[in-house]
Structure 1
């Protein structure tokens, strides 16, 4: 393993750093995007019950906003509960944009890693081929050992760049879709709350 890494030259160090960073982001997103963290199952019923009992002082609403993204959206609706329905929906939409940005923000780095890794691999390939041609100029084409190092670096970094990029892009798409699905569920549940507080 060490021989493979060392044969890739300095570019491999950057690729390994990107790989470690991608793994950290993926692990963190798997943990943070659990349904029980984003859309707690019992929360909608509790909030609707609070609204029916009119047990909604400012302290309760602020605590609700800190519980989860769904709680944040519901708190945005409850702050405007005395206003017309259109203004409540507008407030929730603004809060929804904020939540979407917060959920997707770490994924931007995963996307960058997916785009940069193949370019680093290509850079390693170019450097490796430059070494090959430099060796050809110095030693001719008869010395295979002199050529093998540059060719090895070229192939290793190309493969490493793809090995880092492919999972990064796949996980980026997976998490984007997961956030989109969770957003739809949150919208449905917040609309139920809006219906409940609008009927009062």
Structure 2
């Protein structure tokens, strides 16, 4: 019975401590000042861009297995319309590049390569959409945090200067830790945005390599003697 009461008391203490900590963190965020607003906006933008890009890149990376092999079989048989239809049914950058090349069959090989390359550039541009904005957020969020800290420190020293008599350590410490909140928030958003940017760039490069490999394979197919 006594052990049960002790355990219950410990659980209540832990719960109250966790609740107090969470309230303190929320209070600190609210005490960060008006510079927390742009940092919050940047964090929402970073999350949106990251999720939207991940979904887009995942969709672009999904090319059916044996896609090029099937295209090769149809082109070798001379069934160009079936090959184009197969490309149209597949919503991926590789399929759109190959479809453009198939539509140019009969033209000089150089023209086919240029047309595939142009489509590839458009697809890469679509994949890299908003990545530069995410990189900008990774650099600007910490700067906004530092700016908020400087503003907070100025306000703290103004309050100290206006204080009559001796300055209490509590007044000084409250002004300083409140000012440092914006730096912590800005660094947190900036680090997450930076990691997300590098992850997305790596994923895009993998898709680009796949596009290049598929286009080279298709050009080799057209160069094979018949």
Common fold by TM > 0.5: yes
The reply to whether residue 191 of structure 1 matches residue 216 of structure 2 is yes
- What's 1:89 paired with? 113
- Using the TM superposition, name which of 158-167 and 38-47 deviates more: 38-47
After superposition, the C-alpha distances for 1:103-133 in whole angstroms (9 at most, x for unaligned) are 0112122112111101110111111111112
Q: 1:107 and 1:65 mapped to 2: Cα distance? A: 28
Secondary structure (helix, strand or coil) at the match of 2:105 reads coil
TM-score (norm 1): 0.87
Q: 2:79 and 2:202 mapped to 1: Cα distance? A: 36
- What's 2:60 paired with? 37
Contact 2:60-2:207 at 8 Å conserved across structures: no
Contact 1:125-1:154 at 8 Å conserved across structures: yes
1:195 deviation in Å? 1.5
State the number of aligned residues. Answer: 199
Q: 1:193 and 1:40 mapped to 2: Cα distance? A: 15
- What's 1:177 paired with? 202
Q: 1:138 and 1:178 mapped to 2: Cα distance? A: 55
Q: 1:23 and 1:89 mapped to 2: Cα distance? A: 38
- What's 1:127 paired with? 151
Contact 1:124-1:153 at 8 Å conserved across structures: no
Alignment of 1:1-200 (within 5 A): 1-34=25-58, 37-42=60-65, 43-57=67-81, 60=84, 64=88, 67-139=91-163, 142-199=167-224, 200=226
Secondary structure (helix, strand or coil) at the match of 1:105 reads coil
After superposition, the C-alpha distances for 1:18-60 in whole angstroms (9 at most, x for unaligned) are 21221222222222222x6324133322322332233333993
Supply the RMSD in Å over aligned alpha carbons. Answer: 2.4
Distance 1:11 1:128, change over 3 A: same
- Using the TM superposition, name which of 73-82 and 54-63 deviates more: 54-63
Distance 1:39 1:70, change over 3 A: farther
1:163 deviation in Å? 0.3
Q: 2:74 and 2:130 mapped to 1: Cα distance? A: 34
Which residues of structure 2 form unaligned runs of 5+?
1-24
Which residues of structure 1 form unaligned runs of 5+?
none
Distance 1:157 1:181, change over 3 A: same
Q: 2:212 and 2:83 mapped to 1: Cα distance? A: 24
